[in-house]
Structure 1
Amino acid sequence: MSYDGVGSRALTRSVAFLTAGVLAVPLLAGCGSDDEGGKPLAGQDIAPAARHEIADGGRLRWAVDAMPQTLNTFQADADAGTTRIAQAVLPAMFRMDARGRPQRDEDYLESARVVETEPKQVVVYRLNQQAVWSDGREIGAADFAAQWHALSGRDSAYWTARNAGYDRIQKVERGTGDLEVRVTFARPYADWQSLFSPLYPKDVMGAANSFNDGARKKLKVSAGPFAVQKIDVKAKDVVLARNPRWWGRPAKLSEIVLHEVERDKRAAALADGSVDVADIDPADVSRIKAAGAQGGSLFQSPAGGRTAARALRSWALTHGAEDEDADRELRALEAEGKSLTTRLRQQQSLRDVRVRKSLEPAYTQLALNGSGGPLADERVRHAVAHALNREELAKLVLKPLGLPTVPVGSHLALSGQSIYADGSDALGGQDTGQARALLADAGWVAGPAEDKKEKEKEQRQKKGDKAAGAAGHGAPGSPDGGDGGDEGTYIVGVNDHVNDNKAPARQREDRDGRLYTDDRSGPDGAPGAYAPKGTAAPEAGAAGPLAKDGKPLTLRFVLPSGPGSDTLGKVADRITAMLKKVGIATEISKVSDESYFRDHVASGQYDLALYSWPASAFPATDARPIYAKPVPAADGSLSVQQNYTRVGTDQIDQLFDQALTTLDEDEQRGLLRKADSRIWAAAGSIPLYQRPQLTAVRKNLANIGAFGFQTPVYEDMGFLKKS
């Protein structure tokens, strides 16, 4: 779930499933000393080059997960493609630097600051005098006012995804000159820097019809280094061309083409030249790196006479892959009906592709549904948390890629952001003994399976004693009596049922039959999450299965089954093994990608699930709906907003509310860190690790790749001059 720089502030903090790109939202506002929040765990990897080293012109073909359904980032079905287009063609008052901190964009904004706090908060924006829309009109107060009106929530004719922040504005007016915009807030709003990024022209925001429909498939007026030239649905292309009215540094590229390519077909697309840049899954990394390292035929070897299959297996082993990986390659060839010759030709074509890697501004978590069942008991949720070795899980995913293996310590920020602080001490780390003690305190004791084994053991003991008394041998512990058997063995069940339910209504029933309201206002994020291939084999030292009131302690672990599932399949396997050690059984259900979030996570039909959240620059605004305490709605349903774990407290809500209204940055940081500690203690979600960001790029491209926190600089991307 999946990714990429600063995203739309219109969207709610999007769920990012684990196979594709997440739609990242703006990152945390910088404040305080340079040491606040530490440093990013991984920097950018974009092959930086000076502009004079880059050729003028060229067409860049960039793979995206899907054709955008809308060009309006403030609509519910906006996605990562929508955000990428907006970054290239529209103004943003603030963009993110490499440490994930908002910086004023000088192409649009000379200054922006709070000039009054009493009796009302007032922010004054001074605009760049050269900033104009593509129709020649000056960017000004009329555009700010139109966007505020459209997103304030006061006019129901506008179909907006959300109105956070804009609903706190009292008025927007022209300042002392044409280039000054004065924004007055009815209520204090600490995250004011999140607003008007991106900024749409009044042509889009000034009328409901233009907002709802006019900007879905075209943007007649824009103001960035590029402009939307055309959308070709048949070719699955969005073509961005140089904006002739752009006043900043001229774009090096003539065109950027966003081309829809499925994740599992991107290596082939890179090989056949249909794309130049693509986010890829870990499974493609070794293949691309090996092709580049060889520089020639991938399977050249002094040993002649080998079959193609043996050559492929030998290559896999030479480059660090396991036998199962080579076998999987061969099975894939058969399934896809491709000849090995075609595969080899593709590998040779990948010689000019390089893998750029960093860490995404997003983290993977284990979600625990606290609405019912065993996990409604906080002690059981804590036991699950204490069973996990988060360091081991981070190493499992990140170490093979050569990325830092540090577990994420916050729900609200990532290392490098000023709010970041490791709050996991509020819950504690792995402690198998503590986990078992918590389960016992909650009433979970040795279950029927364990009782049966004990009875079998007693019967064997009696038989051994009787035989020993009659024949003088067979005492307990000897090979033919006593303590033999399979004690301690417990196999976790796997359920491979796929749920293909259709899209649900807005109100649905949760796992206990109660109505809930899904207040998702943004898209589900990028498609898919990694689903496990199976369950882990039993390990020595595992606790026996537990039960309570005759019912076994078994948690439903729901995971998607889409392409690119290998890596997180291993994560799920390892979590399953860790839980088994403390006596918690899991029943794994693999469901379709389309059904996973809609029919399981959002509707509460799960106990355990893996999905990701992007980090936010403005967690007081963006994270509150994720951790807000579910409350009954007026119609009797349960309003969960985006809190799909359904775990929350009044204190957490109060801390977010206080952080949202304080204009003191140090005070806000302290309030948010306290909120994070309370979220850890509630144990509804357990952050695991920052997601890897892997981008395949042609070796002659510069200033593009794995961007990490930073917003891409589209005008500096391009092809290196030929030496």
Structure 2
Amino acid sequence: MSRRTKVGVTALAVVALTLTACGGPSNNANSGLKGADNAIGQADINPQDAAKVKDGGEFRWPVDQLPDNWNYNQLDGTNADGRRMIDTVMPNLFKQQPDSKIVVNKDVLDDAKLASSDPQVVEYKINSKAKWSDGTALSWQDFEAMWKSLNGTDKAFEVAGTTGYEDIEKVEKGATDQDVKVTFKKKFAEWQGGLFSPLYPKAMSSSPEEFNKGWADAPKITAGPFKIGTIDRTAKLVTVVQDPAWWGPKPKLEKITFRQVDRPALADALANGQIDFFDIGSSIDNFTRAKSMQGVTIRQAITPDYSHITFNGADSSVLKDPKLRVALMRGIDTKTITKALLGQMIKGDAQVTGNHFFLLGSAGYKDNSAVASFDKEAAKKQLDELGWKLEGETRKKDGKELVVRYVIPTPNPTSDQIAKLVQSQLKEIGAKVDIQAVPSTDFFKQFVNVGNFDMTGFRWLASATPISDSKGIYTLDPASTNQNYGRIGSEEVNKLLEQANGELDETKRLELANEADKKIWELGHQIPLYQLPGAVAVKSNVANFGAVAYANRPYDYINMGFTE
């Protein structure tokens, strides 16, 4: 099952099904970054043959937070930093390439194929050398256990999404325990994405209690090129070290240290040698600092990473009326926000996006945002029609002020800047925005995941399977939040996404997703903001790592390392 990971700041545009591989981006750190003119589909990673990458060494990786749960499929487990750590120690069945193509991960599977289209049957052949850290072989039973815990039939399992698994009729043993036959009762087009990835051992799905809480503090069984060295929540770090039991190619690095670093401290941490890279994101300060650092290169590639503002449509929120949400959206000028955040950093224009599924320049992209596009006068008129009348500086209805609680993580200069811009813009149409800055370590678990906000903003990191990747965000299921943190949706959207996920014809699938996107805009679900430049500041002697484009599920932990 695909699912988006989330990052507690802000950024942009969604995922592409088909990207065109083009020439690599400019690596001139003295120039501005490319904007909407940047080529899609090429990584910028200082590629080096294995012989030129030294054996050993520690790579120091900054993160916003440690995992809230090492079970990526549990509701609290879906943050991006956690996924990066999980992928070092758990098996992924497939690998995304920079141009978004998906290939079988031969370290884990010998093969995966669509054996039948009607009914849809997928057959997996597990690498005979693949073993869990407790010595047992990876088997069809691990697949079966994941399916049973994630198909949505047992609501005691607190799952982040059921996409794909809910469409499976049965999981069976093939000729051997390492042959897996998955039969679908409904077609599932993007089965090569995150379905059964990362793979977990059957023991984790043995009970709801084990699934929900058993892996909250640490992974209990692993099967990756690395294993856990240290989890130190006091020092706010996790280390992974080479696992001698790994059957695949030996990693170049001896150790990776994931250390929590506050966003404002990233540049100093890189300059002082405490970390080996950082994502520049939307920070002009970090971009400027990185340009002047000796021994640091700025690398750039389009990544499936975008900023957005999510609205809360639950009955407890002032924004429960979709017409009110759309009216407020019309008061938010995303072009001004984009220019403020990226204007000093990029050459040319950064483009806002008008689609919740597809990245600018991709095969499926259409701008469907007209119903909620910026128009201050239209916003005022719509608020008047809804009964929110201006009294002084703030509108009121039935004696209640239009006050919107906008929750952001702190310290996070980008989120802070965006929130203040939105606050200023909405003030002009008579809506008061109350910005509530909460500790970044609490932001998702205590606020976003549980719907404790009226508006909030963070980044979605999407994948090469954009439609299934997004289903849990835009489907409204009264029995499960999944990743629809604003509890916004409709039966019409649910039906369109169901059809799109089951449509094997790519052209028809894209059309259905765009129909769903139009309805999502009408519901006032969320506003995508700007496309990130995809820039990374990285030590110049780091090889096979940097701006990886789509090659982040998983990252190439085997070949990354240092040239000197």
Match of 1:703 in 2: 544
Q: State the match for 2:8 in structure 1.
A: 17
Compared CA separation, residues 596 and 151, structure 1 to 2 (3 A)? closer
Whether 1:386 aligns to 2:330 is yes
1:364 and 2:307 matched:
yes
CA contact (8 A) 2:75 2:482 kept: no
For 1:103, the aligned partner's letter is V
Q: Pick from 511, 530, 544: which aligns with 1:689?
A: 530
Query: Within 5 Å, which residues of 2 pair with 1:453-492?
Result: none
Q: Which amino acid aligns with 1:716?
A: N
User: Does structure 1 residue 104 correspond to structure 2 residue 104?
Assistant: yes
Matched, 1:649 2:490: yes
Q: Classify the secondary structure of the residue corresponding to 1:415.
A: coil
Q: Cα–Cα, structure 1 residues 432 and 64, in superposed 2: closer, same or farther, change >3 Å?
A: closer
SS of the residue 2:499 aligns to: helix
1:80 aligns with 80
Query: Given the alignment, which residue of 561, 579, 586 partners 2:432?
Result: 586
The residue that corresponds to 1:431 in the other structure is: 375
Are 2:253 and 2:561, in contact at CA under 8 Å, matched by a contact in 1? yes
Q: Does the CA-based 8 Å contact 2:92-2:198 persist in structure 1? A: yes
Q: CA deviation at 1:438?
A: 3.5
Counterpart position of 1:113 = 113
Flag the 1:666–1:353 CA change in 2: closer, same or farther, 3 A: same
Could you tell me whether the CA contact under 8 Å between 1:28 and 1:102 is conserved in 2?
no
Give the SS at the match of 1:716: coil
Matches of 1:231 and 1:687, distance apart in 2: 35
Deviation at 1:86, TM superposition (A): 2.6
In the aligned structure 1, how far is the partner of 2:511 from the partner of 2:198? 29
1:224 maps to 224
SS of the aligned residue for 2:410 comes to: coil
Please tell me the residue identity of whatever aligns with 1:289. A
In percent, how many aligned pairs have the same letter?
A: 33
Distance 1:265 1:440, change over 3 A: closer
Q: Name the structure 1 match of 2:168.
A: 169
CA distance in 2, matches of 1:617, 1:623: 11
Go from structure 1 to structure 2 and tell me whether the alpha carbon gap of 1:428 and 1:151 turns closer, same or farther (over 3 Å shift): closer
**SS of residue matched to 1:572:** helix
Equivalent position of 1:409 in the other structure: 354
Question: Higher helix proportion, which one?
Answer: 1
Cα distance change, pair 398–99 in 1 and its aligned pair in 2 (3 A)? farther
Q: Where in structure 2 are the equivalents of 1:33-432 lying within 5 Å?
A: 44-78=43-77, 79-118=79-118, 120-133=119-132, 138-152=137-151, 161-177=160-176, 179-193=178-192, 194-202=194-202, 204=204, 215=215, 222-232=222-232, 235-279=235-279, 282=283, 284-286=285-287, 288-289=289-290, 291-292=292-293, 351-358=294-301, 360-370=303-313, 379-402=323-346, 405-415=350-360, 418-425=363-370, 427=371, 429-432=373-376
1:715 deviates by 1.1
Q: Given that residues 558 and 600 in structure 1 are in contact (C-alpha distance below 8 angstroms), is that contact kept between their aligned partners in structure 2?
A: no
TM-score by length of 1: 0.64
Deviation by residue 1:419-465 (Cα, 9 ceiling, x = unmatched): 4332224x2643344444444544566x454xxxxxxxxxxxxxxxx
Deviation at 1:161, TM superposition (A): 4.9
The one-letter code of the counterpart of 2:435 is S
Amino acid in the other structure paired with 1:395: K
Cα distance 1:718–1:155, how it changes in 2: closer, same or farther (>3 A)? Answer: same
Note if contact 2:91-2:199 (Cα within 8 Å) is conserved in structure 1.
Answer: yes
- Quick check: 2:8–2:64 contact (8 Å CA) kept in 1? no
SS in 1 for 2:558: helix
CA distance in 2, matches of 1:34, 1:357: 15
Amino acid of the residue matched to residue 367 of structure 2? D
Residue 717 in structure 1 maps to residue 560 in structure 2 = yes
The structure with higher relative contact order (CA 8 Å, sep 6+) is 2
**Aligned with 1:61: secondary structure?**
strand
Work out whether 1:560 is the aligned partner of 2:408. Answer: yes
Secondary structure class of the residue paired with 1:240 = strand
Contact 2:535–2:547, Cα closer than 8 Å, also in 1: yes
Identify the residue that residue 461 of structure 1 maps to in structure 2. none
Following TM superposition, by how much is the alpha carbon of 1:719 offset from its aligned partner in structure 2, in angstroms? 0.7
Task: For 1:205 and 1:59, locate their aligned partners in 2 and report how far apart those are by CA, in whole Å.
Answer: 33
Aligned residues between the structures:
542
- Confirm or deny: 8 A CA contact 2:352 2:528 kept in the other structure: yes
Offset of residue 91 of structure 1:
1.9
SS of match in other structure, 2:435 = strand
2:358 corresponds to which letter in structure 1?
A: A
CA deviation digits over 1:52-84, x for unaligned, max 9? 321122222222233335433233433434322
Q: CA deviation at 1:231?
A: 3.6
Distance 1:654 1:202 in 2: 32
Post-superposition offset of 1:269: 3.2
- Shift of the alpha carbon at 1:718? 0.8
Using the alignment, how far apart are the partners of 1:111 and 1:379 within structure 2? 49
Between the aligned partners of 1:140 and 1:413, the Cα distance in structure 2 is 35
Change (3 A) 1:377 1:183: closer
* CA pair 127-374 structure 1, distance change in 2 beyond 3 A: closer
**Counterpart Cα distance in 2 of 1:577 and 1:160:** 37
- Asked if 1:572 is matched to 2:419, the reply is yes
Q: Is the 8 A contact 2:160 2:472 kept in 1?
A: no
CA contact (8 A) 1:99 1:417 kept: no
Distance 1:156 1:444 in 2: 39
- Deviation track 1:400-430 (CA, whole Å, cap 9, x = no partner) reads 23276111221123236554332224x2643
Change (3 A) 1:371 1:203: closer
**Bigger mean CA offset, 217-226 vs 205-214:** 205-214
Q: Which runs of 5+ in 2 are unaligned?
A: 23-36
Residue type of the partner of 2:430? I
2:34 is aligned to none
Q: Deviations over 1:537-589 (max 9, x none)?
A: xxxxxxxx76667777x442524362122x343333433444455x3342433
CA contact under 8 A between 2:225 and 2:251: conserved in structure 1?
Answer: yes
Q: CA deviation at 1:597?
A: 5.9
For residue 343 of structure 2, give the secondary structure of its aligned residue in structure 1: helix
Give the superposition deviation at 1:254.
Answer: 1.9
Q: Tell me the CA shift for residue 113 of structure 1.
A: 2.6
Distance 1:365 1:642 in 2: 14
Q: Which amino acid aligns with 1:649?
A: S
Structure-2 residue corresponding to 1:307: none
